[in-house]
């Protein structure tokens, strides 16, 4: 086979759904892992519902996930003349025909058949073109009326459709605009798409689309229809289960690398591999690993996966992602001093954070300014005895070598002098340095904010 080419073809009628993001990811991994191309097509033929804002949201969501595409994004609407050209080519080949049936005539047929799903065979299907009236018409595919169409699907296996269940679908409307069934095939062919990887809600479309490939004598791509994503309760994913838009996950502070890892594992498996980088995923990913059953969204596993990636992200890159999260969430940006302190603190706060809000919460001691007003639980630790100990400790700090070993030595010495364990001293220190009772290590906080700021905070707390 020639170079692998996959595509993601969203409709810009709303946000980028998490299911769509996983479809894009599978296409991206499959192509990138094989030196192929990953293309993007915006299926914007529904002019009433398609919006520039939705297109922008889709592009932003893909960029946040790190799913880069080759070339420019293609607008399906801009290719409508090409779609109409192919419809007329099928007409010339005898694979399609002009249908002059009115909506009333079609409705009457449906009524007679007693179902809106009856296969429509137009009386114009075999009409002599010489008898065509001078009236508006649509172009319909001439579907085979007997035999079978087999979809060789890499996920679902061979799927057989009886041809007598396939209607003569419209490929070109009376106003000259193409239908989705035609446009998607023409675009995939012209873009050189070799593998169509998409949700299994499109499986029923494959047989009709395969008719277009056959009518034009084009090679049929490899089909791979992947199961949809369900909520934790096994029902179709919806807003009642939580966030369904990719942008919501960014705004909630999930790292892109963690989302890629989790979505890769959502419906796909490679042995026991659970946690991996995108480079590793590209090497492992294959269509044979995709399951046939719907995957279930598990937020605890998502958080665990994201935590693994946060802990392994280099500090400078992590700071960049945190700032992008703050912007996406509409929160104030970091000042230069805050940025510097947070960068210095990441080594001691990122190991147990599963999201960026958790990480920022742990690093609050770098973002606050004096005078620090302790939270009630922390303030309780600053009783008169504790304040007295801090007053005694503070004058000894200017002459201490600012290393963890030296700080451990002096704090242990002060605690012992008052007949208490270090834990008793740590509580007022946390309140003084961070205004909280749950913080990173006292030593780490002192090292991060530095000698002068540590002394100033302790003096404020001691009163």
What is residue 419's DSSP assignment? T
Distance CA 289, CA 264 (A): 11
Are both 232 and 214 inside the same structural domain? Answer: no
Q: Confirm if 152 and 158 have CB atoms less than 8 A apart.
A: yes
**Cβ burial, residue 112 (10 Å; 0-12/13-18/19+):** exposed
Could you tell me the pLDDT band of residue 398, with boundaries at 50, 70 and 90? Answer: very high
Predicted pLDDT at 120: 80
* 371 within domain boundaries: no
Predicted pLDDT at 69: 98
Predicted pLDDT at 243: 65
* 398 within domain boundaries: yes
Could you tell me the pLDDT band of residue 47, with boundaries at 50, 70 and 90? Answer: confident
**Cβ burial, residue 192 (10 Å; 0-12/13-18/19+):** middle
CATH number reported for the structural domain that contains residue 453 in this entry: 1.10.10.350
**Residue of 113 and 132 predicted with greater confidence:** 132
Predicted pLDDT at 370: 93
Could you tell me the pLDDT band of residue 49, with boundaries at 50, 70 and 90? Answer: confident
Predicted pLDDT at 9: 97
Are both 318 and 355 inside the same structural domain? Answer: yes
Distance CA 171, CA 186 (A): 11
Asked which of 102-111, 172-181, 198-207, 365-374 is least confident by mean pLDDT, the reply is 102-111
Predicted pLDDT at 242: 64
Mean pLDDT across 131-157: 95
Are both 383 and 353 inside the same structural domain? Answer: no
Query: Considering 177, 207, 226, which residue would you say is the last residue of a domain?
Result: 226
What is residue 334's DSSP assignment? P
**Cβ burial, residue 293 (10 Å; 0-12/13-18/19+):** exposed
What is residue 134's DSSP assignment? S
Q: What is the pLDDT of residues 18-35, one digit of tens each?
A: 999 999 999 999 999 999
Q: Confirm if 247 and 61 have CB atoms less than 8 A apart.
A: yes
Predicted pLDDT at 232: 85
Q: What is the pLDDT of residues 327-353, one digit of tens each?
A: 999 999 999 999 999 999 999 999 999
Query: Considering 226, 257, 272, which residue would you say is the last residue of a domain?
Result: 226
Distance CA 183, CA 146 (A): 25
Predicted pLDDT at 235: 83
Q: Confirm if 89 and 216 have CB atoms less than 8 A apart.
A: yes
Are both 267 and 236 inside the same structural domain? Answer: yes
Are both 108 and 222 inside the same structural domain? Answer: yes
Q: What is the pLDDT of residues 265-300, one digit of tens each?
A: 999 999 999 999 999 999 999 999 999 999 999 999
Token pair 């932003």: residue: 60
Mean pLDDT across 61-77: 97
* 54 within domain boundaries: yes
Start-to-end CA distance of the chain, whole Å, equals: 77
Are both 305 and 319 inside the same structural domain? Answer: no
Could you tell me the pLDDT band of residue 116, with boundaries at 50, 70 and 90? Answer: low
* 369 within domain boundaries: no
Number of domains in the chain: 4
Are both 385 and 414 inside the same structural domain? Answer: yes
From edge to edge, which strands make up the β-sheet containing 74-75?
5-8, 37-42, 74-75
**Cβ burial, residue 296 (10 Å; 0-12/13-18/19+):** middle
Are both 88 and 201 inside the same structural domain? Answer: yes
Are both 219 and 240 inside the same structural domain? Answer: no
DSSP 165-212: G----EEE-TTSPBPHHHHHHHHHHHTT--EEEEEGGGHHHHHHHHHH
Q: Which residues are catalytic?
A: 239
Q: Which domain holds residue 349?
A: 314-364
* 370 within domain boundaries: no
CATH number reported for the structural domain that contains residue 117 in this entry: 3.40.50.620
426 pLDDT higher than 90: yes
Are both 322 and 301 inside the same structural domain? Answer: no
Predicted pLDDT at 214: 95
Are both 132 and 214 inside the same structural domain? Answer: yes
Q: What is the pLDDT of residues 219-271, one digit of tens each?
A: 999 999 999 999 888 888 766 666 688 999 999 999 999 999 999 999 999 99
The reported pTM is 0.92
Query: Considering 278, 295, 312, which residue would you say is the last residue of a domain?
Result: 312
Could you tell me the pLDDT band of residue 1, with boundaries at 50, 70 and 90? Answer: low
* 60 within domain boundaries: yes
- What mean pLDDT is reported for the chain? 94
Predicted pLDDT at 208: 95
Predicted pLDDT at 218: 98
Are both 306 and 408 inside the same structural domain? Answer: no
* 346 within domain boundaries: yes
Q: What is the pLDDT of residues 355-384, one digit of tens each?
A: 999 999 999 999 999 999 999 999 999 999
302: its two tokens: 């998502």
**Cβ burial, residue 401 (10 Å; 0-12/13-18/19+):** exposed
* 322 within domain boundaries: yes
């Amino acid at each position: 086979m020639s170079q692998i080419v996959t595509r993601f073809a969203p409709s810009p009628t709303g946000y980028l759904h998490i299911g769509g993001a996983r479809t894009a990811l599978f296409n991206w991994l499959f192509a990138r892992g094989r030196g192929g191309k990953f293309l993007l097509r915006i299926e914007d033929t529904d002019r009433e519902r398609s919006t520039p804002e939705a297109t922008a949201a889709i592009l932003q969501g893909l960029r946040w996930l790190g799913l880069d595409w080759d070339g420019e994004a293609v607008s399906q609407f801009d290719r409508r003349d090409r779609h109409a050209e192919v419809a007329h080519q099928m007409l010339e080949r005898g694979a399609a025909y002009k249908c002059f049936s009115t909506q009333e005539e079609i409705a009457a047929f449906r009524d007679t058949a007693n179902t809106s799903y009856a296969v429509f065979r137009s009386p114009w299907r075999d009409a002599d073109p010489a008898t065509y009236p001078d009236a508006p018409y649509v172009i319909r595919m001439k579907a085979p009326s007997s035999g079978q169409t087999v979809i060789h699907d890499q996920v679902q296996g061979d799927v057989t459709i009886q041809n007598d269940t396939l209607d003569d679908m419209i490929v070109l409307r009376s106003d000259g605009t193409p239908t989705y069934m035609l446009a998607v095939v023409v675009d995939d062919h012209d873009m050189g798409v070799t593998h169509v990887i998409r949700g299994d809600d499109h499986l029923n479309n494959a047989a009709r689309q395969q008719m277009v490939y056959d009518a034009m004598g084009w090679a049929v791509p490899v089909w791979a229809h992947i199961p949809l994503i369900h909520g934790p309760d096994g029902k179709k994913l919806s807003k009642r289960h939580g966030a369904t838009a990719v942008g919501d996950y960014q705004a909630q502070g999930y790292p892109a690398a963690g989302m890629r890892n989790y979505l890769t594992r959502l419906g796909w498996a490679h042995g026991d591999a659970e946690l991996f980088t995108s480079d590793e995923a590209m090497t492992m990913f294959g269509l044979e690993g995709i399951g046939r059953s719907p995957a279930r969204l598990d937020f605890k596993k998502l958080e665990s996966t994201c935590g693994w990636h946060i802990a392994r992200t280099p500090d400078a890159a992590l700071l960049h992602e945190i700032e992008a999260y703050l912007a996406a969430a509409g929160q104030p940006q970091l000042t230069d001093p805050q940025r510097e302190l947070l960068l210095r603190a990441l080594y001691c706060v990122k190991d147990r954070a599963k999201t960026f809000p958790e990480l920022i919460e742990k690093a609050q001691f770098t973002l606050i300014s004096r005078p620090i007003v302790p939270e009630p639980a922390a303030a309780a630790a600053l009783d008169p005895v504790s304040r007295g100990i801090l007053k005694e400790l503070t004058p000894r700090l200017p002459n201490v070598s600012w290393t963890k070993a030296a700080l451990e030595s002096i704090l242990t010495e002060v605690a012992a002098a008052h007949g208490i364990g270090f834990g008793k001293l740590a509580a007022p220190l946390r309140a003084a340095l961070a205004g909280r009772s749950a913080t990173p290590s006292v030593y780490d906080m002192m090292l991060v904010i530095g000698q002068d700021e540590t002394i100033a905070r302790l003096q404020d707390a001691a009163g």
